[in-house]
């Protein structure tokens, strides 16, 4: 690890000024991504700006529209998962949080940092290999390497790395936004416009510019009658990233028709993957098998597999059908996957 | 400086042998006070970090250490260009790795090419990045099926069998044949291997992650060219090994070299990534099993061939197909092993080496035969029970596998199984039952121990061997207590120090038999020494009594004829002695007689749940009935079976070390990418011990440290077939295999 | 604003930057000076001699280094010592009572043989103590899930569940 200067900021303005002044500065919050990648020599900042003492921790409810949770970016994953409104009104967020990482990591990792976590691609994390995301122009060793965990949606010939966040998938489905404080002031960015597919610039992952700091998340609440959940498919029963995941919310009218649908996928895309086309197919329809399968087809539309990960396309479809069907029927989506019955 | 005193404290209460007393080292371990090698500190300690190759085959054309040497705090950079001469140690085991940094040639990705020593760990780590190595790469051969790979046939001299398998297969009314693959697995003990080396003049003290301090001492002395008496290896505790500590690896040698060069004590800790390339692994295998049988399920032919990977420079003792020579009765048996030379890190032992892979293929093939015959898999095994060694005709020393089958089936409720695959479901969950048997190999090596009774009437038992978590501290304490007639709380076991009487490495499930026999003999010798002490002692009721006329109880030796006797303390005091010691040894039993020593046995029964849509596989139940001879401590023995089973579940469903065929690079060298089972993967695991003591050794024991693994993958694979109707002939079985 | 010395030069290894750190460790104030790169784990082990906390992976993937930071279980390998300045740290060494008697969780681990090699054990126990405080030891399955951040390669998981449930139920689990 490169030797670095350490600065602890007391205010947001102080933090942004310290980071903006040094092109080799980076923020340190929970550290679960930042320190990990510094140890792997992927990040080599000359200066760390410690933001852990900034007053950006906690959840407030704003009652405009259907209600919005304004979440301080330094709120930990565990803290957000335990919040009353998240438990009652946003099961998909709670489940996405609690199925991520481990309890220890969830006590450390902040929700702001969670949205910025980097891919688990082992080529990205090994500086001895070619990786356009880590070192632009060097190529992508994953294309012909081991890529079972890699993305099938939003890929490019330059990068097939999967975005690892569970939380971002749930938030994307909810039309959440981030509030950002930068050298030029504040702005809000809807999550749908935040992430960048790799294209020819895989190193550009999101809309942030150097020195910008996520200060808050804005998460609209679901209507009380909505059913929502997060299904995560993985090899290990816990403490693993998704092979495929589905965040979904449905409001089903009394006549059995879907009034509104929200659907996003994780584990299969280079970015958290929202599927407006599938949501349209569901809206106004009855959730029978044909409709769910059509939505699943739409959700994985355009997916491209490679030898090790092509199975994710079918798996993603099955996960969509399972999640939507369970919500429509009011069931748990993953009994066996969670070790039911022992 | 001496390491902190963290000797185990036995419980004060008396306990009988076999009883499941708490392990004697539980208190120091739960308090965080057990001193593992990596916890060792010395004043002036310097830190060493390895630099490893980023190609798998070729040569180093240039190694530029200038930037590293100029970095803050750096004391030395040692590479093949400046390493002092290291000797090829005498090849006693055919598995000692060649000395590190031998030349400029690269044989595998992740080969150590330099070691950087600095004042601090952080400085050494950063400087290691600055060592610039330029390579000329050769073509990589890193795939078991690579057409250019060199094949070593019958590398262990174990190929063989009986009868004429080909002819019998041709004549058999029923035949099954399958090709099975098992992935490479990495031991991944939780404690990264570490060495702290400290020279005082020409004397070297090494705190090392080893499973055999005596072994490491001999290897180090030979490699460094110093007398064995000049080396002391200490390892009172080890953060797991699972076979990785059975060899003296290059990093241990380099820590000693570095410490001598910089004139300071040096600590070298492998990174988790380096744990994948530097301390062995379970080699991947390809196996073909062909079985011929009669329609009523009598096996008439069994042919088992195995190919496994091996590095370019090492040997590795790992018979895979050999288990088929001793598992089932058949007039015609043939087994053959091949090792395939690849540009991969040296494989080595990993819990149940060879048997773990071989048993999987054999027991799945049995399941396929049972399905083909429409016969219950358990009935098929009973019908082909090996009442004697199928190849040699020798009698077993003690074989209660039949009792394992019966007890396991009863515990599990096997009779409730509907034989039809894909017949049992709960909602979207497919339920499968599978079983497998295990006839584990026998292993025992020579061992010595010393037993001392002091003036306070307490005893110390000493042997250089290791408790790697198996419970050796505890069972030897219990054994010493029983043999000397003392409460467990009055016996202290001291281990993990090469200066003590030499024990073999903790491996092959053989240490309890070896050390237990040595402790038994030492205790008998000590009783004799006490009798010798009072032979002409008119005040002693034991005067002139022979060893077979006494027993030890309540801190005394007493005559069996009239019950008279006296305390150890009284005899010592009267003769002005502060202690009496005796040594004992045990030799490995021969295996050529009419009776062959046999290893432990087990039967395993598994229930798996498979999500019909998502392919997610979870083990819902798994029970083991085991024949381990006499169990010295029910609690720690149970933990061995449970723990091995957890490893077997990982092998079956999760663990795979992925080597890229075109680069030889390990693609997943982290605990986030190489998946070992977590708590949520593991259901309640039933274990029952059955069967009698084994007469091969005086304590009646068989090993139980590895028995949890073999059988577990096959039982799970067979249950997955029963659940889904899909026969997956590859480990680990993954979601995509059953979708 | 706390400022830890000058920036390192671009790309090449800069001078070592050291910062003072004050921690409350197991109830006692400890002041040390560390390299900014030093993890809380290495600071505990090397600077403070508290070697009960173990390094298993140094990557946040095993849980062996679990300690309590301001009352919450965290991974000390991914926590920079500098960033922990002013915080309260509890390690395995701080679990025993003042009279040296073991914590009930330590006793339960011994009783249920919830350890073998013992290397992951301090992290397991720190995690288990926190688990009870979090109120997540209500069923075997809940314990399994919320102890899944602590790997045990010896495979003591079922006995770890037994030990924790024993403590959680006030000893009603034999």
pLDDT at C11 over 60: no
Neighboring chain B residues of A311 at a CB cutoff of 8 Å = 735-736, 739
Q: What is the mean pLDDT of residues C58-63?
A: 98
pLDDT attached to residue B115 = 98
pLDDT < 70: residue spans in chain B: 1-16, 90-95
Residue ranges with strand state E in C26-164: 28-35, 66-69, 72-75, 88-90
Q: What is the mean pLDDT of residues C138-151?
A: 98
Closest CA to A313 of A322, A323, A304: A304
**DSSP for B464-491?**
S---SSSSHHHHHHHHHHHHHT--GGGE
Length of chain A: 342
Which residues neighbour A21 within 8 Å (Cβ) at sequence distance 6 or greater? none
Neighboring chain A residues of C3 at a CB cutoff of 8 Å = 5-8
* CA geometry: angle B156, B652, C65, nearest 5 deg: 100
Q: How far is residue A161's CA from residue B479's CA, in Å, rounded to a whole number?
A: 57
Residue ranges with strand state E in B509-614: 550-553, 556-559, 565-567, 579-586, 595-596, 601-611
pLDDT attached to residue B3 = 38
pLDDT attached to residue B93 = 59
pLDDT at C5 over 60: no
pLDDT at C6 over 80: no
Q: Which long-range contacts (CB under 8 A, 24 or more apart) does B89-92 make?
A: B89/B218, B89/B219, B89/B222, B89/B223, B89/B248, B90/B222, B92/B218
- pLDDT class of C3 with cuts at 50, 70, 90: low
**Chain A residue nearest residue B675, CA to CA:** A236
HSE toward the beta carbon, residue B456, CA cutoff 13 A: 7
Neighboring chain A residues of C9 at a CB cutoff of 8 Å = 46
**Chain C residue nearest residue A100, CA to CA:** C149
**Chain C residue nearest residue A339, CA to CA:** C141
Number of helices and strands in chain C (H, E): 5, 6
Which residues neighbour C136 within 8 Å (Cβ) at sequence distance 6 or greater? A103, C142, C143, C146
pLDDT attached to residue C171 = 77
Dihedral sign (CA C59, B684, C134, A266): positive
The residue of B210, B635, B679 whose CB has the most chain C CBs within 10 angstroms, and thus the best one to mutate to test that interface, is B679
C18-94 homologous superfamily: Beta-grasp domain (3.10.20.30)
Contact B654 A41 (CB under 8 A): no
**DSSP for B266-307?**
EEEE--TTGGGTSS--BPPEEEEEEEEE-TTS-EEEEEEEEE
Q: Output DSSP code: residue C62.
A: S
**Chain C residue nearest residue B645, CA to CA:** C155
Q: How far is residue B54's CA from residue B133's CA, in Å, rounded to a whole number?
A: 9
Burial bucket for residue B173 (CB in 10 Å: 0-12, 13-18, 19+): exposed
Distance of residue C59 Cα from the nearest chain A Cα, in angstroms = 6
**Cα A62 from chain centroid?**
23
pTM: 0.97
Which residues neighbour B229 within 8 Å (Cβ) at sequence distance 6 or greater? none
Neighboring chain C residues of B192 at a CB cutoff of 8 Å = 55-57
Distance of residue B326 Cα from the nearest chain C Cα, in angstroms = 28
Contact by Cβ (8 Å): B51, B115? yes
Domains in chain A (CATH in brackets) are 5-50 (3.30.43.10), 59-116+164-220 (3.30.465.10), 227-333 (3.30.390.50)
Any idea where the domains of chain C sit in the sequence?
18-94, 104-168
Q: Mind spelling out the 3-state secondary structure of B565-589? A: EEEHHHHHHHCCCCEEEEEEEECCC
Catalytically annotated residue among B200, B372, B706, B736: B706
What's the mean per-residue pLDDT of chain B? 96
What's the mean per-residue pLDDT of chain C? 93
* CA geometry: angle C39, C44, C45, nearest 5 deg: 100
Q: Which of A 189-248 lie inside 8 A of B, CB atoms? A: 233-241, 243
- Classified by CATH at the fold level, domain C104-168 comes out as DNA polymerase; domain 1 (1.10.150)
Q: How far is residue C127's CA from residue B527's CA, in Å, rounded to a whole number?
A: 48
Contact A236 B125 (CB under 8 A): no
Specify the DSSP element, H or E, that contains B650. Answer: helix B634-653
**Chain A residue nearest residue B650, CA to CA:** A236
Pairing of strands A68-72, A59-62: antiparallel
Contact C36 A6 (CB under 8 A): yes
Q: Buried b vs exposed e over B10-48: b needs ≥16 C-beta within 10 Å? A: bbeeebebbebbbbbbbbbbbbbbbbbbbbbbbeebbbb
Backbone φ, ψ for residue B560 (5° rounding): -75, -20
> How many beta-carbon contacts under 8 Å exist across A and B?
107
Contact by Cβ (8 Å): A267, B711? no
Contact by Cβ (8 Å): C82, C21? yes
pLDDT attached to residue A332 = 83
Burial bucket for residue C85 (CB in 10 Å: 0-12, 13-18, 19+): buried
Contact A339 C10 (CB under 8 A): no
Contact by Cβ (8 Å): B190, B677? no
Closest CA to C123 of C44, C46, C9, C14: C44
Specify the DSSP element, H or E, that contains C42. Answer: helix C40-42
**Chain A residue nearest residue B676, CA to CA:** A236
Burial bucket for residue B143 (CB in 10 Å: 0-12, 13-18, 19+): buried
pLDDT attached to residue C13 = 56
Q: How far apart are the first and last CA of chain B?
A: 60
Specify the DSSP element, H or E, that contains B118. Answer: strand B112-118
Instruction: Compare C148 and C14 and report the one with higher pLDDT.
Output: C148
Burial bucket for residue B476 (CB in 10 Å: 0-12, 13-18, 19+): buried
Q: How far is residue B16's CA from residue B31's CA, in Å, rounded to a whole number?
A: 26
- pLDDT class of C148 with cuts at 50, 70, 90: very high
- pLDDT class of C4 with cuts at 50, 70, 90: low
Q: Output DSSP code: residue B162.
A: E
Cβ–Cβ contact A307 with B under 8 A: no
Interface of A with C (CB under 8 A): 1-10, 14, 18, 22, 24, 28, 31-32, 35-36, 38-40, 44, 46-48, 50, 52, 78, 101-105, 107-108, 237-239, 338-339
pLDDT attached to residue B17 = 81
Q: Mind spelling out the 3-state secondary structure of B670-694? A: CCCCCCCCCHHHCCCEEEEECCCCC
Neighbours of chain A (3+ CB pairs under 8 A): B, C
Whether B553 is a known active-site residue: answer no
Identity of the residue in C8, C73, C83 whose CB atom sits nearest the CB atom of A3: C8
pLDDT < 70: residue spans in chain A: 335-342
Cβ–Cβ contact C108 with A under 8 A: no
Taking CA atoms, B182 is separated from B285, B359, B713, B735, C37, in Å, by: 5, 11, 10, 16, 41
Tokens standing for residue B677:
């089972």
Tokens standing for residue A291:
């409709």
Identity of the residue in A311, A321, A340 whose CB atom sits nearest the CB atom of B736: A311
Reported as a single tens digit per residue, the pLDDT across A41-100 is 999 999 999 999 999 999 999 998 889 999 999 999 999 999 999 999 999 999 999 999
Neighboring chain C residues of B267 at a CB cutoff of 8 Å = none
Dihedral sign (CA A257, A262, A267, A270): positive
Contact C154 B469 (CB under 8 A): yes
Domains in chain B (CATH in brackets) are 46-139+191-276 (3.30.365.10), 393-442+593-738 (3.30.365.10), 447-586 (3.30.365.10)
Residue ranges with strand state E in C5-164: 18-25, 28-35, 66-69, 72-75, 88-90
pLDDT attached to residue B92 = 55
Distance of residue B116 Cα from the nearest chain A Cα, in angstroms = 14
Contact C52 B32 (CB under 8 A): yes
Identity of the residue in A3, A24, A31 whose CB atom sits nearest the CB atom of C83: A31
């Amino acid at each position: 690890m490169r030797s670095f200067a350490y600065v602890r900021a007391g205010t947001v303005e102080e933090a942004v000024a310290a980071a903006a002044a040094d092109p080799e500065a980076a923020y340190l919050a929970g550290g679960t991504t930042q320190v990990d990648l510094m140890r792997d020599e992927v990040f080599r900042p000359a200066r760390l700006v410690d933001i852990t003492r900034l007053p950006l921790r906690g959840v407030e409810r704003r009652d405009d529209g259907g209600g919005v949770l304004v979440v301080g970016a330094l709120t930990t994953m565990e803290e957000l998962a335990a919040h009353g409104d998240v438990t009652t009104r946003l099961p998909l967020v709670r489940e996405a949080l609690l199925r991520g990482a481990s309890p220890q990591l969830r006590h450390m990792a902040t929700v702001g940092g969670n949205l910025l976590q980097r891919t688990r691609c082992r080529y990205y994390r090994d500086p001895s290999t070619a990786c356009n995301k880590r070192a632009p122009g060097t190529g992508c060793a994953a294309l012909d390497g081991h890529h079972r965990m890699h993305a099938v949606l939003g890929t490019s010939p330059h990068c097939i790395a999967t975005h690892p966040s569970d939380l971002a998938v749930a938030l994307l489905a909810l039309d959440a936004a981030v509030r950002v404080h930068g050298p030029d002031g504040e702005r809000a960015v809807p999550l749908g416009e935040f992430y960048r597919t790799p294209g020819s610039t895989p190193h550009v992952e999101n809309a942030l510019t150097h020195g910008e700091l996520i200060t808050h998340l804005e998460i609209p609440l679901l209507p009380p009658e909505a059913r929502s959940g997060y299904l995560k498919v993985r090899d290990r029963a816990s403490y693993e990233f998704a092979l495929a995941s589905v965040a979904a919310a449905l409001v089903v009218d009394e006549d059995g028709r879907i009034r509104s649908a929200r659907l996003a996928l994780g584990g299969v895309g280079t970015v958290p993957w929202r599927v407006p086309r599938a949501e349209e197919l569901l809206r106004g329809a009855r959730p029978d098998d044909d409709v769910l399968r059509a939505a699943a087809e739409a959700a994985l539309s355009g997916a491209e597999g490679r030898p090790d990960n092509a199975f994710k396309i079918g798996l993603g479809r099955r996960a969509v059908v399972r999640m939507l069907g369970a919500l429509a029927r009011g069931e748990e989506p993953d009994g066996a996957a969670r070790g039911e019955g022992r | 400086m001496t390491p902190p005193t963290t000797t185990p404290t036995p419980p004060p209460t008396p306990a009988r042998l076999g009883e499941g007393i708490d392990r004697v080292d539980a208190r120091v371990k739960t308090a965080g006070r057990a001193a593992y090698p990596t916890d060792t500190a010395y004043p002036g300690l310097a830190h060493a970090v390895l630099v490893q190759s980023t190609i798998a085959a070729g040569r180093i054309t240039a190694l530029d250490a200038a930037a590293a040497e100029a970095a803050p705090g750096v004391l030395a950079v040692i590479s093949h260009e400046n390493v002092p001469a290291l000797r090829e140690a005498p090849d006693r085991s055919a598995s000692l790795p060649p000395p590190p940094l031998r030349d400029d040639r690269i044989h595998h990705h992740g080969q150590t090419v330099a070691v950087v020593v600095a004042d601090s760990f952080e400085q050494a780590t950063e400087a290691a990045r600055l060592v610039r190595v330029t390579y000329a790469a050769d073509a990589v051969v890193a795939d078991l099926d690579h057409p250019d790979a060199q094949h070593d046939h019958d590398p262990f001299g174990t190929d063989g069998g009986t009868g004429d398998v080909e002819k019998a297969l041709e004549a058999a009314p029923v035949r099954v044949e399958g090709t099975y693959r098992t992935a490479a697995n990495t031991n991944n003990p939780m404690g990264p291997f570490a060495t702290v080396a400290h020279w005082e003049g020409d004397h070297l003290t090494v705190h090392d992650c080893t499973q055999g301090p005596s072994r490491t001492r001999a290897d180090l002395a030979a490699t460094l060219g110093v007398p064995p008496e000049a080396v002391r290896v200490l390892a009172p505790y080890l953060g797991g090994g699972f076979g990785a500590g059975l060899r003296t690896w290059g990093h241990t040698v380099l820590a000693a070299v570095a410490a001598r060069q910089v004139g300071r004590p040096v600590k070298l800790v492998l990174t988790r990534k380096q744990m994948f390339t530097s301390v062995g692994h379970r080699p991947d295998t390809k196996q073909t099993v062909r079985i011929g049988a009669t329609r009523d399920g009598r096996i008439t032919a069994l042919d088992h061939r195995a190919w496994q990977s091996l590095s370019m420079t090492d040997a590795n003792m790992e018979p895979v197909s050999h288990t088929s020579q001793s598992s089932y009765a058949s007039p015609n048996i043939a087994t053959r092993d091949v090792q395939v030379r690849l540009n991969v890190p040296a494989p080595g032992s990993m819990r149940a080496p060879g048997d773990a892979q071989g048993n999987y293929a054999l027991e799945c093939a049995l399941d396929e035969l049972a399905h083909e015959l429409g016969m219950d898999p358990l009935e098929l095994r009973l019908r082909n029970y090996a009442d004697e060694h199928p190849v040699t005709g020798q009698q077993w020393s003690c074989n209660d596998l039949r009792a394992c089958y019966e007890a396991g089936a009863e515990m599990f409720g096997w009779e409730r199984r509907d034989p039809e695959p894909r017949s049992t479901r709960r909602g979207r969950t497919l339920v499968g039952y599978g079983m497998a048997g295990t006839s584990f190999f026998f292993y025992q090596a020579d061992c010595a121990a010393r037993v001392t009774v002091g003036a306070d009437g307490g005893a110390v038992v000493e042997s250089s061997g290791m408790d790697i978590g198996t419970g050796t501290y505890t069972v030897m304490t219990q054994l010493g207590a029983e043999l000397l007639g003392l409460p467990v709380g009055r016996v202290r076991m001291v281990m993990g120090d090469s200066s003590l009487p030499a024990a073999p490495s903790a491996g092959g499930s053989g240490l309890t038999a070896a050390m237990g026999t040595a402790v038994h003999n030492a205790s008998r010798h000590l009783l004799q020494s006490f009798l010798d002490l009072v032979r002409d002692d008119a005040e002693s009721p034991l005067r002139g009594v022979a060893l077979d006329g006494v027993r030890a109880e309540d801190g005394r030796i007493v005559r069996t004829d009239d019950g008279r006797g006296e305390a150890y303390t009284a005899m010592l005091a009267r003769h002005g002695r502060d202690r009496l010691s005796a040594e004992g040894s045990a030799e490995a039993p021969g295996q050529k007689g009419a009776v062959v020593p046999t290893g432990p046995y087990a039967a395993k029964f598994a229930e798996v749940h498979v999500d019909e849509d998502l392919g997610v596989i979870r083990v819902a139940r798994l029970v083991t009935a085991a024949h381990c001879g006499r169990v010295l401590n029910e609690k720690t023995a149970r933990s061995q079976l449970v723990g091995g089973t957890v490893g077997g579940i990982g092998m079956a469903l999760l663990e795979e070390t992925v080597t890229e065929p075109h680069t030889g690079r390990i693609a997943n060298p982290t605990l986030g990418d190489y998946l070992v089972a977590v708590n949520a993967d593991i259901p309640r695991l039933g274990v029952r011990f059955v069967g009698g003591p084994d007469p091969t050794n005086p304590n009646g024991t068989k090993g139980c440290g590895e028995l949890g693994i073999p059988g577990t993958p096959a039982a799970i694979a067979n249950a997955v077939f029963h659940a889904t109707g899909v026969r997956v002939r590859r480990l680990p079985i993954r979601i995509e295999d059953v979708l | 604003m706390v400022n830890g010395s000058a920036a390192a030069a671009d790309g090449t290894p800069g001078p070592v930057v050291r910062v003072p750190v004050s921690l409350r460790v197991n109830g006692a104030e400890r002041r040390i000076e560390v390299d900014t790169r030093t993890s809380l784990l290495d600071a505990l082990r090397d600077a403070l001699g508290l070697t009960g906390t173990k390094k298993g992976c140094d990557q946040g993937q095993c849980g062996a280094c679990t300690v309590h930071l301001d009352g919450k279980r965290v991974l000390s390998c991914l926590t920079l010592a500098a960033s922990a300045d002013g915080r309260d740290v509890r390690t395995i060494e701080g679990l025993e009572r003042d009279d040296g008697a073991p914590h009930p969780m330590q006793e339960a681990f011994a009783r249920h043989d919830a350890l073998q090699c013992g290397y992951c054990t301090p992290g397991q126990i720190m995690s288990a103590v926190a688990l009870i405080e979090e109120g997540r030891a209500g069923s075997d399955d809940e314990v399994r899930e919320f102890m899944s951040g602590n790997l045990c390669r010896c495979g003591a998981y079922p006995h770890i569940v037994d030990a924790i449930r024993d403590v959680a139920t006030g000893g009603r689990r034999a």
